[in-house]
Structure 1
Amino acid sequence: MKEPKFVAFSTQKGGAGKTTLTVVMASYLYYVKGMKVLVVDCDYPQYSIEEMRQRDKDLVDCNPAFEKAFKENVIRTKLQPWPMLLATPDNAMEKVREIVEGGNDIDIVLFDLPGTINNRGVVNILNCMDSVIVPIAADRVILQSSLAFAMKINEWLTTGKSQVKEMYMLWNLVDAREKTELYDQYEALFAEYGLVTLKTRIPDTKKFRREGSKILPRAVFRSTVMPPDKTLIKGTRLPELADEIMNLLKL
């Protein structure tokens, strides 16, 4: 039985982009890279990815242009939308193990977790991860919160209290007007705390929030039933991030 890789974009601060990154990465790996993906939404109680999936289903039903694009994608890729598991933090790993041990061929499991580590279920999930990726932004509130989150996990790692194999910081929502030296200085500070930062930096672009419209026949980037549109990928650094993650996980 093949053992899939477990990955979580995780932080305790809302607005850092963990759910969006989970969705676009899942769709890119699944549709573009050919990975067998399972997404686990255990962001209780809002279940943001489940809500996105329902919006996408509604678009297929009510927007002829989106329905046409969806059906053409299914024919072209021979793929139905990637599978998603809805679970609470307390029972997520048990449900995932049932799926994996049931003989399902899965390369990577992406988890969307609640924004807290003050939950035993969340801690147990994090302890099972092959890689925890902590989105950070050059915003004081987000940076302080995400750094505190990462340092807590790093403390678990260095004291042997966690079985997380790897953890990385990921610059997200990068403002092109900010000087590169600013990020380099932050990364030097992270390194002093033993924190490793991914090479890829994700720019702050509205493309990552571009979903389908019930009225407009427009290309989509963030979707649970479609790949990110090719015409929108340029400048997002999504392919570079996917390649970096795949190389780290040896996929």
Structure 2
Amino acid sequence: MVILIGNQKGGAGKSTLTLLLANYLTSVHARKVTVLDMDYQQSVSSKYDKAKVLENEAPYEVIPVDLTHFPVLLQVLTKNPKETVLIDLPGKMDDDGLIPVILSGDLILCPFNYDEFSVDSTLLFAMVTAKINNRAPLVFIPNRIKATVRYDTRQEVDKVMSQFGTVTPGIADRIDFQRVDTIHTPAIVLPAILPTLDLIHGNYIEKRSTT
């Protein structure tokens, strides 16, 4: 199964969600996972390399990938039907080399924030990906939700997003990229992320695995 994690807006939480999902699938469900880091900043790859320096045994592999090498790499990885491939997409959608990547997705996850710029870029991402790949479910994940902030437009935004896919429960703002690594997710943040990850696993990943 190939899961894409993307949004055009920088800072939406793509790399954090990639780590959280990879850690969750390997530790909670013992799935075989490989992460392909296509993000220009390659922050997931950097964390993976640092963990190796500290001689920690990684529960999954992180591979920095150039778009030109993607087709061959995907062919190798998907020979194993039990392999779950997570792809941290680049922050921009203006490269035609992304078309085969988007077409490969069995599930597309899109973290976003409830602000005007993030919502606009999220809707653009949704329209582009849906036009290229209309078979993969699109799941929107509200991210960095502040408990002390009233989101007056939240219902309106969720209604618009639901025209393209499903909107999950939100993830609190205390889930910071610096607190998560490629070895584990701190136990203190698990209550904030498990409802969302359990929903994604139960409704999309597990169902596909049993069909």
Query: Which residues of 2 match residues 37-116 of structure 1 at below 5 A?
Result: 37-44=33-40, 46-58=41-53, 60=54, 70=56, 80-101=58-79, 104=80, 106-116=82-92
Q: Equivalent of 1:230, from 187, 191, 209?
A: 187
Q: Tell me if structure 2 keeps the 8 A contact 1:132–1:167.
A: yes
Q: TM-score w.r.t. structure 2 length?
A: 0.87
State the Cα distance separating 1:105 from its structure 2 match: 6.2
Alignment-derived partner of residue 160 in structure 2 = 189
How many angstroms apart in 1 are the aligned matches of 2:126 and 2:67? 19
Q: Tell me if structure 1 keeps the 8 A contact 2:114–2:151.
A: no
Alignment-derived partner of residue 28 in structure 1 = 24
Residue-by-residue CA offset, 1:129-179 (whole Å, 9 max, x unaligned): 01111111112221211222112223x1xxxx5354211221111121233
Opposite residue 227 of structure 1, the aligned amino acid is: H
3-state SS of paired residue (1:165): coil
3-state SS of paired residue (1:109): strand
Q: Tell me if structure 1 keeps the 8 A contact 2:139–2:168.
A: no
Q: Percent identity?
A: 24
Opposite residue 18 of structure 1, the aligned amino acid is: K
Alignment-derived partner of residue 10 in structure 2 = 14
Alignment-derived partner of residue 64 in structure 1 = none
How many angstroms apart in 2 are the aligned matches of 1:41 and 1:95? 12
Residue-by-residue CA offset, 1:4-33 (whole Å, 9 max, x unaligned): x11111011110000111012101111222
How many angstroms apart in 2 are the aligned matches of 1:32 and 1:229? 13
Alignment-derived partner of residue 66 in structure 1 = none
Q: Equivalent of 2:176, from 208, 215, 219?
A: 208
How many angstroms apart in 1 are the aligned matches of 2:189 and 2:161? 32
Does the C-alpha gap of structure 1 residues 30 and 129 become closer, same or farther in structure 2, counting only changes over 3 Å?
Answer: same
Farther-moved stretch of structure 1 (144-153 vs 129-138): 144-153
Give the aligned CA root-mean-square deviation in angstroms. Answer: 2.1
Structure 1 residue 140 corresponds to structure 2 residue 116: yes
Opposite residue 127 of structure 2, the aligned amino acid is: M
How many angstroms apart in 1 are the aligned matches of 2:32 and 2:151? 36
Alignment-derived partner of residue 162 in structure 1 = 133
How many angstroms apart in 2 are the aligned matches of 1:138 and 1:105? 36
Q: TM-score w.r.t. structure 1 length?
A: 0.74
Give the greater-gyration-radius structure (CA).
1
Structure 1 residue 176 corresponds to structure 2 residue 147: yes
Q: Number of residues paired by the alignment?
A: 206
State the Cα distance separating 1:195 from its structure 2 match: 1.7
Alignment-derived partner of residue 246 in structure 1 = 201
State the Cα distance separating 1:181 from its structure 2 match: 5.9
How many angstroms apart in 1 are the aligned matches of 2:184 and 2:70? 26
Q: Tell me if structure 2 keeps the 8 A contact 1:128–1:163.
A: no
How many angstroms apart in 2 are the aligned matches of 1:200 and 1:142? 17
Does the C-alpha gap of structure 1 residues 229 and 165 become closer, same or farther in structure 2, counting only changes over 3 Å?
Answer: same
Does the C-alpha gap of structure 1 residues 99 and 9 become closer, same or farther in structure 2, counting only changes over 3 Å?
Answer: closer
3-state SS of paired residue (2:143): strand
State the Cα distance separating 1:85 from its structure 2 match: 2.3
Q: Tell me if structure 1 keeps the 8 A contact 2:9–2:91.
A: yes
Does the C-alpha gap of structure 1 residues 48 and 25 become closer, same or farther in structure 2, counting only changes over 3 Å?
Answer: same
